[in-house]
Structure 1
Amino acid sequence: MTNNLLPALGAWVVLRDTMDAERNPGVVHKIMISNHGASATVQWLRTKQVDVVSLDRLACGFARGHDVLHDPSPGYGPPLGTGVVRAIRDIGGQRQLLVEFASRGERLWMPWQRFRFIKGPAFRFKRGDVGGPDAAERFRLRTLAHALVFWNENTGALSRFDIDPLPHQIHLVHHILASGNLNWLVADDVGLGKTIEAGLIVAALRQRSLASRILIVVPAGLTRQWQEDLKLKFGLDDFLIYGTDFSVGDTAHWKLYDRVIASMDQLKAVAHLGSIMEAEPWDLVIFDEAHRLTRKQKGQSYEKSDRFRLAEHLRHRTRNILMLTATPHQGRQDQFVALLHLLRPELASDMEGIDFDQSLLSRMVFRNRKADVTDAEGNFIFKGQTSRMIQVDANPELTELEDQLAAYLEEGYRAARASGSSTGRAIGFVMTVYRKLAASSIYTLMQALIRRLARLEASSSAKVIEQLEIQDDRFQGEFEEAQETPSAAFFDGEADRLRLLIRGCEVALLDDVKMSAFLSCILAPILSANPNEKLLIFTEYRGTQDYIRHKLEENFGPHKVSVINGGMDVEERIESIRHFEGNGQFLVSTEAGGEGINLQRRCHMLVNFDLPWNPMRLAQRIGRLYRYGQQNHVSAFNLESLASADEGVVAKMYERLEQVARDLATVEEMTRETLISDIVGELAGLLDVEEILEEARGATVKRTSERIDEAIERARQASEVQRDLFHHAVSYQADELKDTLQMGIEHLHAFVGGMIYALGGEVKPSQRFPGMAWRLVLPASVRENLPGLDAETLVAFDRTFAPEGVRFERLDMDHRLVKYLLARSLDYDFEGLTAPIALGEHAGALGLSILHWQDERGRRMRSELTALHQVGGADIQLNPRELSEFLLEPQENAPSGAVQSVSGDFVQAAETRIDRLLAERSTGALLPEGYGWISLARCEQAPESASQLASTAEAKEPIDADQ
C-alpha cells in the first residue's frame, strides 16, 4: 500500500496487478502485522476463495453507489454512520471517497480505508431480504428514531423545553425553517406566543448548527423577561443582556459574546450604535415589537426614526432578520412596506406594486389569529373576551368643576394662540395634559394644579413626581404628568383661577362619582360573586394610580394591593407580579404594564379606570390577560365620565370605533372576542386623537364629530386594506401538515418503551403514579454506558410531573437515556433496514427516505424524512396516515406471502417520485441537494382483526391508557 492506513475489516479491495480486478473484488476479513510487513485475509466475492495478500498489493475496490459504513481509527471519535459513495478521486497519491451521510446531512471526502461495505436498504429490498424474525419491530423502532429526530429538528417540539408547543406554533416554526429563508415578519395576534415561536426557531437553528451568533433587540422593559424565558422555557441559558450583564469597552471584545439581548433604545444611541456596528456579523437578528421601527413617507423622501435607522444598520450585519409584532400594519401602508424592505431589501422593487401583487406577503409574513388556533386535540383555545363601557353620570359638584376647568383651558388656549410659536406650544401642551388628567381622575388633576400653583408662587414645598427619561412611549402619560410647567403665568389672573379649580377639586373629591362607580358598580358585584377574584386595573397616570391604590388599601388592606409603573426597575415589577399572583388581589398598573407582562394564569378581570387617548393601547392592555394559558372568559370594564370636558369627543370616538368593529367583524366572520382587543386596536392606530382634540379648541361638538367621522372612515378603509393584505399572509391551517409525518410525545413514549424491550429490559407502569410514570428495568448494557442510572429507574415524560422528594428522570429528546436509545436504534447493526410489515388494507411497499435541499452556496437549508407508500401499481402516496398509528404499536413480522405480492419496480418508481418532490419544493432559496434511503418494507394486506397483530404487544404494552 502507498500509505500507512490499514483498511477496515469489511472494506472492499482489488488486486493492483490483476487485469480483472474490478470483476473480482474481495472483502477484508482480517489484518496481520509482522516483522515481514502487513497482510490481510481477503475473500474474493466471485470465486469465494480466501487468500492472504500483502497490503501493498491491495487497492480500493469501492465504486460509486456503494453503501458503506464509517469505521474510524482508534482515537478519531465515534463513527459517522452509514453513507453512499457519490464520487472517487486520487489526490496526493491516495484514493478518497466522497461519501454522503444522508441522516447527518453531510458530504465528506475521506480515505477509502475507513469504510466497510454494507448491504443498504435498497440493495436488500431488491434482493428480497426482509430481515430476521423481529425485523418488523426493529423497522418500527428505526423509523421512529429517524422520525423523532427530524420532527424535533424541524419544529423543536420534543426538546427539553418547559412548554408544550401548540399546533400553530409548531406549524409556524416548521414553515419558516422549511422555507429556506429566515427573513420573516411574525404578526400573530397578541397573546399567541410570539416569544415561544422565536425561542423554538432559535433552539432549532442552534440544534442544526445554523445560527451561532444571535442578537435579540427588544424594548427596554423586556430584556430581562426575554432572558428568563429563553433560560426557563428553552434551556438557553447563555444569552446575556448588553449593558446589564456585560459591557464592551474595546469593540474587538464583541467576538466574546455570541448570544446577546439588547434594548433597542439603548442601541440606537450614537455611542452604542457605533459599538454594535463594530461587532462580528450576526447569524440572526430578532426584533421584538417591530412596529416601533417606523419610517414615514414624505413626498419623495422618507422620515426615519432612530429605531428604524438602527435596524437598517443591523440589516447590513446579518443575513437573517426575524421581526415580531402583533400590529405590523396600523393604517399606514408606507410604514408597513418599510418593515418589509428591512426584511427583504432585494425585493424592494417588487414591493412598489404590493397593491397589485399582494401574494408577495406569503413569502415573508406569517399571521395567526386567536379565532383559528387550537390545542393538540383540535379544540379551540380561547374562551372569548368581552368589553363593557361603564358610563358615570355627573353630580352638581363635578359639573361645576368641569365648567371651571373649561373656562381655564379656554383662557390658556387663547394665550397660546396669542404667544409666539415656542411659548404657544408650551402653553398648549400644558392645557392638553390638564384635559387628559381631568378625564383620568379629579385627584390627579388636583395634584397637577397644585404643582402649577406652587410653580407660580415659587414654592418648594409641593411634591413633584420624579422626572422620567422617556425611552419608551408606554410612559408617555407618566412623562407628561411629571413635566415642570413654565414659571411665568400663562395669562393674567391664572393663580386665582388655579386656587378656584383646586378648591373645586377638593369639593368634588368628597363625593367622587367615578371612584364610587368603580367601587360599587364594578368591584362590588365581582367580589360578591367571588370574594377572592383578582383584578388588573389600568390607568395612564401615576397620580391616579396612587389614588386608586389608596382607596383599595383603605377598603381591603395594604397587603392586597400591588402596583407597576415606569419608575420601577425590572426586579421590582417582577416582585409586584409575584405578590399579585400569590396573596395579592389587585394590581394597579400604568402603561408600563401594557406590554411584556403576562397575567393570564391567575386573572381574567380587567378595569380601565381611564381610557388611553391612543386607543391602540387597549389591545395591549387586554393582551396581558387574553393570551394563551387563559382558562376563563376575559372581561374588560371601561370607565367613562360623561361630564368630562371632552365627553362629546371621546365618547363619540369610542362609539364610532365599536360600531366599525362590529361592521368589520361581520365582514370577516370574526367572533366578539376580537372586537376591542384586535380590530378596534388596529383601527384606532390610524387616529391621532390629540390632533382631533387640538382642532376642536373652541369648536362645537358637532364640528368635532364630523372630524371624527372622517377619521373613522379612513380607519375603516385602512382596515379593509389591511384585511386584504393579510389574506395573502401565511397562517395556521389545521390540515396543512396532515400530509407530513408528524410526531408527538406519544411517539416518544412508544420509542422508549419499545427500545427497552428490544435491548432486553422491561417496562412497568408505576403503581405509585399510575398514568404518569414508568419504572424501567434497564439491561446491563444500558447501565454500563449510562453510569448513574439505577437498575430500576422511575421515568416520566409529562413536564408537569414533579413529585416532591422523589427521584426520577424526565425523558425528552435531550435526555442522555433517550440519546443513547436513539444512537442504538440508528446503528447499522441494529437491523430493521428491511422488513415484512402489515400496513393498511392492501399489499404494497413502503420506503423511508431523507431528502435534502441547499442554497446556492451549497449550505444545507432543509431536510425532511418522507415516507413513500405504494399499493399495487397505484400512484405513490406520501406519508400515509396509517404509518403514524403503525409506529405507536409493537409489531410482528407479516406472513411471508407479502414478499411475493410487491412489484420489484417500487424502488425505481419511488426514486422518480422523490426526484419530483425535490423539484416541487425547490424555490429561489432552496435547491435540490440529494436523498438517501433509511429503510424499506414490504406490506401485506392487514388481517381482519388488528388485535391479531398486537397479541404479544398487549402482554408487554408499556403505555398506560391514562397516558
Structure 2
Amino acid sequence: MTPFALGQRWLSGSENNLGLGTVTAFDSRTVTLHFPASDETRIYAIAQAPLTRIQFNKGEALKHKEGWQGKVVDIQTMNGLNFYLVENPQGSQIIVQENDISPLISFSSAKDRLFSAQLDRSHHFALRYRTLKHQQAQFQSPLRGLRGIRAGLIPHQLHIAAEVGNRVNPRVLLADEVGLGKTIEAGMILQNQLFAEKVQRVLVIVPESLQHQWLVEMLRRFNLHFSLFDEERCADFADTEENPFISESLIICALDWLVNSPKRAQQALEAGFDCLIVDEAHHLVWSETAPSCAYLCVEQLANKIPSVLLLTATPEQLGQESHFARLRLLDPERFFDYAAFQKEQQHYQPVADAVQSLLMDKPLNEAEKNHIATLLKEQHLDPLFESLASSNTEIQQKARQTLVENLIDRHGTSRVLFRNTRQGVKGFPQRIYHPIRLTAENGTQTEEAKTQWLLDFLKTQRDKKIFVICQRAQTAIYLEQYLREKEGIRAAVFHENMSIIERDRAAAYFADGENGAQVLLSSSIGSEGRNFQFSDTLVLFDLPQNPDLLEQCIGRLDRIGQLQDVQIYVPYVEKSADEVLARWYHEGLNAFEQTAPMGMTLFEQFTEALQKVRSNLTALSDLDNLIADTKQARETLKIALEQGRDRLLELNSNGGEQAKHLANAIAAQDNEAELVNFALNLFDIIGLEQEDLGENSLVLTPTGTMLIPDFPGLKEEGVTVTFDRPLALAREELEFLTWDHPMIRQGIDLIASGDLGKAAMALLINKQLPAGTLLLELIYIVETQSPKGLQLNRFLPPTPIRLLLDNKGNNLAEQVAFDTLHSKLKPLGRDIANKMVKMARPTLEQLFALGEKQIRPLAQASINQAQTLAEQSLSAEINRLQALQKVNKNIRQSEIEILTAQRNQSLEALAKATWRLDSLRVIVTNKE
C-alpha cells in the first residue's frame, strides 16, 4: 500500500532548501511533489525517494501559510491527510489542513531534525562537538588576535599589541626606531581590537606613497581587506547623497587628499569611525601659534574618533615641541601646556638615571633614592632600599624588580607612548658596506659601467639571492632584459606600475629557493612595504637622495628576523656626484653600517654644502672638510641622544620577560597537532580536495560535492596552505593557517551556526548491554546575548555541556569520554535509523525531558563561574587604574568610567544567560 496521498506534505532530505513539498501526483512507481517556496517540481522513484513525511504532534508549533503561528491542540486523519486543530495568536481554535501549512517551514533544531528524519552521519556530529569545544577554547585564549600574523614572533611587538589591544579606546603613540616594525605593531593592535569586537570601522591615513604598502601589509600579514579611497572612488557616489566613507568598514586614504578636499574630510568625520591610524605622524607640523592644515585635519578626526594610533619618528628625532604636538592629539586635556610638559619631562630624567642603576645592579646613591622616593611618595620604601643591600641575591633582585615596576606605572607618558630602540631590542645583524669604485673609460657612460659591474658580480654570486634597488622603474625593466639576454640570469622585476598580484608573483619567484630568480630588480618606490629577510645581499644600483630613503632601502633586508649579516654594495663611478654622496653617507653619517636616527637632521643642516660639493667635483678638499664637520656634528648629536634616552620608557615598551613568555606561548601553538588534525578533518568532511605537496604545505581545491558550497577563503582555483610559520614567511604565496586565520575561524563559525551534525544516529557494538539499548547524547550550549563590545566571550563563550543518558536517564558523560565512545561507534543506514527513531520516539521524548532537568544545575554552575570571573577581572582592572590615576596623570577618567559601565552591563548580561539544546546523537546497541 502506498504511503502517499494527494495534498500530503513531505520534505526532501537531499534538498532541504526547497522547503516543504506537496504531493501532486503518484502511481505505483513514482511520486511527484511541488515545492511552493521555490516553485520547483520533482519526480521521485518511490523505492529510493529521499522524502520524510512531515506531521505535527500535540503541543508543537505550526506555521500557517499566511504567516501566523499557533499551537497544535488536536489531530484528525482522513483519507491519508492530517487536519490540525490549532490555537491561533488570538486564542481561537481553527482547523488547518495540510495544504495550509507554510512551505517555508524549516527544521533547524536538533529535535526537529531527528523527528523529521534529517539525520547526519555520526562523524558530522563529532566534528560539530569538537568544533564547539575549539570555539570555546579560542574565545578564552589570551593569545587570540595575536598569533595569526604572518611575521616572526618578536617579543616587544607582541607586548605592545597585547598591552594596547586589551585597552578600551586606546590612544597611543608608536615611536619605535626604523626597522622595529611600527606598522606591524599597529596591525597587531588593530587585529586584537577587531577580534575583541571593540572596533568595527577603521580609517588609516598615510602619505600617498605608502597607501599600497599599508594595503599589502594589512592583507598579507593580517588578512584584513582594506579599501583604498581617493577622489575617483568617491566620485562614484556623486549621483547619490550617500557618504562614500560609510560604504566600507576598513579604509585607507592619503593625508594630502583629505587636507585638500574639505568636503571629503567632513564626510570622513561624519562616517562613524571608531579607530583612527595615522602613519608618518611626525610630518604633521604644529606650533602653538600656527598649526598646519594637515595637523588641524587630523586633530578634528582624533577629537571625534575614540581610538587613535599615531605612528611617528622617535621623540629624539622629533624634538620636544613636535613630540608634545603628537601627545596633544591623543589627549588634549592632559597635554595642553607645552611649558608645563617641558618641566614635567625634566623631572623624570633623574628618575631614569636611577632606573639605569637598578637595571645594571649598581647601588643607589642618596640622590637617586631621593628622586625615587619623591615619585613613589605614597609608598614606604625603606624596606625595599634595605633589601637592595641584602647579601641574598634573590631578595635583592626582587626588590629591584618591584621598584622598577612601580616606577614604570608612574612614568609620565608610559601609557600613551611606546618607543623601542635597536640598542634596547638587540639581536640585529651587522651591516657590511662594500663601496665599488668604478672607472668610466673610453667614453663609457656611468650607467654602462654600473651595468657591466652588476653582470660580472651576479656571475660570481650564483648561489645568492641578490636584491637590487634602482631609482626608476625603467632602469629595473632594462636591467632584467640585459641580464637575461647577456648571461641568461633569472631576474624578477618589481616596480610601482605593476599590480599587487604581479608583485606577489615576482616576490614568490624571487623567494623560490630551487627554481626562482637569482636577483630581484626593484624601483625604490615599488619595494615599499615588502621585506626580503631571506636575502642578505643588497645592491644600491642608484643611491637614494636622502638618509631616510637610504634607511628605507636598507630596511628591506635589515629588519627583525634577518639571520645573516647584511652585505651592502654601492657601485659608483669615481669623481662623480654619486661618489660624493656615498662618501658623505658613509664617512659623515655612517649610514650604511648603522642606523642614523639623526640622519635627516644632519642632512637638512648640511644639504646646501653637500649640493655645492656634488656640483663642483674639482674641489674635493671641500668634501673632506664637509665630512669632518658632519662627523663632529653627528658625535655631538649622538651624545645628546644617548643622555636623553629614557630607559624607563624603553623597559615598559619592550615588555621584558613577560613578552618573551608570550612569544614562546604562541610559538608552542604554531603547527600544533590539535590545530592540524582539526583543520584537516574539517576540510575532509566539508568535501575539499587535499593534495599534500610535502615540505609542510598542501593544496586545497573545491569540489562539486562540498557540503558548504562557498567555503571562506577558498578560491575557485584552490589555495596552497601551510601551518609552518617559517615556511609562510619564506613563501608569501602560501596561506598561513593558525587558529586566527579566516579559513579556520569562519570554518568554525559555519559549523557552529549551521545545521551540519545537529542530529545523528549510530550503532554501538557491546556484548555487555542488551541489544536495542538506547543511549542519548545531548550537547547543550550555555550562552549570553550582549553587545559585542562587552567581550563577554572572555568569561562565557558559547560553552558546550555534554550529557550521555542511558535508557533510565542516568548521565554517563563523566564515566564515558567522548572520544572513547566515538571511536567505538559504527554507522547506521538512513532508512533503518529513521524507522528506529519512530519506534523509540516515546522513550526519546522522556529522555529529552530528563535532559532538560539535568542540564539546569550544570549550566547554572557555568554561569555562576563566569559571573565570578567577570567581577574579579573587571574590578581588578578598575581598581588598578584608580590607584594609578592618583600618581599618573595619563590615566584617563573616561577610561575608568567606561570600564565601570562595562562591568555593570557585563554582570547584568551574564545574569540573563541561557542554555539551549544544540545537537544530539542517538546510539543504539547490538551484540555484534
TM-score by length of 1: 0.49
Q: Measure, in 1, the Cα distance between the counterparts of 2:736 and 2:280.
A: 38
Aligned residue number for residue 147 of structure 1:
137
Within-5 A mapping of 1:831-910:
860=790, 864-865=794-795
Within-5 A mapping of 1:590-739:
590=524, 592-593=525-526, 596-600=528-532, 603-608=535-540, 612=544, 614-627=546-559, 633-638=565-570, 651=583, 654-655=586-587, 657-658=589-590, 680-691=595-606, 693-694=608-609, 705-706=628-629, 708-722=631-645, 724=647, 726-727=649-650, 729-731=652-654, 733-736=659-662
Q: Does 1:185 align with 2:230?
A: no
Aligned with 2:334: secondary structure?
Answer: helix
Aligned residue number for residue 899 of structure 2:
926
Aligned residue number for residue 59 of structure 1:
none
Contact 1:786 1:817 in 2 (8 A): no
Q: Measure, in 2, the Cα distance between the counterparts of 1:584 and 1:564.
A: 14
Aligned residue number for residue 401 of structure 2:
none
CA-CA distance at 1:688 after TM superposition:
3.4
Aligned with 2:253: secondary structure?
Answer: strand
Q: Measure, in 1, the Cα distance between the counterparts of 2:642 and 2:296.
A: 27
Q: Measure, in 1, the Cα distance between the counterparts of 2:464 and 2:421.
A: 32
Aligned with 1:921: secondary structure?
Answer: helix
Contact 1:268 1:306 in 2 (8 A): yes
CA-CA distance at 1:770 after TM superposition:
10
Q: Measure, in 2, the Cα distance between the counterparts of 1:774 and 1:822.
A: 25
Q: Measure, in 2, the Cα distance between the counterparts of 1:767 and 1:372.
A: 43
Cα shift readout 1:506-554 (whole Å, capped 9, x = no counterpart): xx7737899868965x874563142774341355x899x6999599669
- Residue identity in the other structure for 2:297: L
Q: Measure, in 2, the Cα distance between the counterparts of 1:700 and 1:719.
A: 28
CA-CA distance at 1:655 after TM superposition:
3.5
Q: Does 1:216 align with 2:204?
A: yes
Taking every aligned residue pair, what percent have the same amino acid on both sides?
A: 19
Contact 2:211 2:252 in 1 (8 A): yes
Contact 1:526 1:533 in 2 (8 A): no
Aligned residue number for residue 285 of structure 1:
276
- Residue identity in the other structure for 2:201: R
Q: Measure, in 2, the Cα distance between the counterparts of 1:849 and 1:197.
A: 35
- Residue identity in the other structure for 2:335: A
Q: Measure, in 1, the Cα distance between the counterparts of 2:665 and 2:692.
A: 39
CA-CA distance at 1:332 after TM superposition:
1.7
CA-CA distance at 1:242 after TM superposition:
1.9
Unaligned runs of 5+ in 2: 1-57, 63-69, 75-86, 90-101, 111-125, 349-409, 511-515, 614-620, 713-717, 729-734, 761-780, 798-816, 823-860, 882-895, 915-928
Structure 1 851/528 Cα, relative in aligned 2: closer, same or farther at 3 Å?
Answer: farther
Q: Measure, in 2, the Cα distance between the counterparts of 1:787 and 1:555.
A: 46
Q: Does 1:253 align with 2:276?
A: no
Aligned residue number for residue 818 of structure 1:
748
Q: Measure, in 2, the Cα distance between the counterparts of 1:275 and 1:756.
A: 46
Contact 2:172 2:309 in 1 (8 A): yes
Q: Measure, in 1, the Cα distance between the counterparts of 2:106 and 2:693.
A: 42
Q: Measure, in 1, the Cα distance between the counterparts of 2:442 and 2:476.
A: 14
Q: Measure, in 2, the Cα distance between the counterparts of 1:809 and 1:704.
A: 48
Aligned with 1:285: secondary structure?
Answer: strand
Aligned residue number for residue 416 of structure 2:
364
Structure 1 546/336 Cα, relative in aligned 2: closer, same or farther at 3 Å?
Answer: same
Structure 1 604/214 Cα, relative in aligned 2: closer, same or farther at 3 Å?
Answer: same
Aligned residue number for residue 425 of structure 1:
none
Q: Measure, in 2, the Cα distance between the counterparts of 1:649 and 1:788.
A: 55
Q: Measure, in 2, the Cα distance between the counterparts of 1:687 and 1:275.
A: 38
Contact 2:230 2:257 in 1 (8 A): no
Within-5 A mapping of 1:495-514:
510=443
Q: Measure, in 1, the Cα distance between the counterparts of 2:695 and 2:479.
A: 48
Match of 1:528 among 460, 465, 490: 460
Contact 2:432 2:567 in 1 (8 A): yes
Q: Measure, in 1, the Cα distance between the counterparts of 2:546 and 2:700.
A: 58
Structure 1 651/31 Cα, relative in aligned 2: closer, same or farther at 3 Å?
Answer: closer
Aligned residue number for residue 373 of structure 2:
none
CA-CA distance at 1:261 after TM superposition:
2.1
Aligned with 2:569: secondary structure?
Answer: strand
Structure 1 630/77 Cα, relative in aligned 2: closer, same or farther at 3 Å?
Answer: farther
Aligned residue number for residue 227 of structure 2:
239
Aligned residue number for residue 500 of structure 1:
none
* RMSD value, Cα: 6.8
Structure 1 652/687 Cα, relative in aligned 2: closer, same or farther at 3 Å?
Answer: same
Aligned residue number for residue 5 of structure 1:
none
- Residue identity in the other structure for 1:337: F
CA-CA distance at 1:145 after TM superposition:
2.7
Q: Measure, in 1, the Cα distance between the counterparts of 2:61 and 2:233.
A: 60
Alignment size in residue pairs: 622
Aligned with 1:730: secondary structure?
Answer: helix
Contact 1:155 1:173 in 2 (8 A): no
Cα shift readout 1:129-163 (whole Å, capped 9, x = no counterpart): xxxxxxx99999765431213449941645xx8x4
Q: Does 1:307 align with 2:285?
A: no
Cα shift readout 1:734-778 (whole Å, capped 9, x = no counterpart): 125789999656343465689999x9x9999999979767999xx
Greater Cα shift, 263-272 or 635-644: 635-644
Cα shift readout 1:385-416 (whole Å, capped 9, x = no counterpart): 42315274xxxxxxxxxxxxxxxxxxxxxxxx
Q: Measure, in 1, the Cα distance between the counterparts of 2:324 and 2:247.
A: 32
Structure 1 578/542 Cα, relative in aligned 2: closer, same or farther at 3 Å?
Answer: closer
Structure 1 75/165 Cα, relative in aligned 2: closer, same or farther at 3 Å?
Answer: farther
Aligned with 2:549: secondary structure?
Answer: helix
Q: Measure, in 1, the Cα distance between the counterparts of 2:517 and 2:868.
A: 65
Contact 1:154 1:174 in 2 (8 A): no
Q: Measure, in 2, the Cα distance between the counterparts of 1:768 and 1:266.
A: 46
- Residue identity in the other structure for 1:798: T
CA-CA distance at 1:715 after TM superposition:
3.9
Contact 2:131 2:748 in 1 (8 A): no
Aligned residue number for residue 836 of structure 1:
none
Q: Does 1:585 align with 2:519?
A: yes
Contact 1:852 1:930 in 2 (8 A): no
Match of 2:431 among 366, 378, 386: 386
Aligned with 1:215: secondary structure?
Answer: strand
Q: Measure, in 2, the Cα distance between the counterparts of 1:680 and 1:775.
A: 43
CA-CA distance at 1:891 after TM superposition:
7.9
Structure 1 739/531 Cα, relative in aligned 2: closer, same or farther at 3 Å?
Answer: closer
Aligned residue number for residue 340 of structure 1:
327
Contact 2:436 2:569 in 1 (8 A): no
Q: Measure, in 2, the Cα distance between the counterparts of 1:767 and 1:273.
A: 50
Within-5 A mapping of 1:401-420:
none
Within-5 A mapping of 1:456-495:
none
Structure 1 570/271 Cα, relative in aligned 2: closer, same or farther at 3 Å?
Answer: farther
Contact 1:157 1:170 in 2 (8 A): no
TM-score by length of 2: 0.50
CA-CA distance at 1:626 after TM superposition:
3.0
Aligned with 1:316: secondary structure?
Answer: helix
Structure 1 175/823 Cα, relative in aligned 2: closer, same or farther at 3 Å?
Answer: farther
Contact 2:687 2:706 in 1 (8 A): no
Contact 2:490 2:517 in 1 (8 A): yes
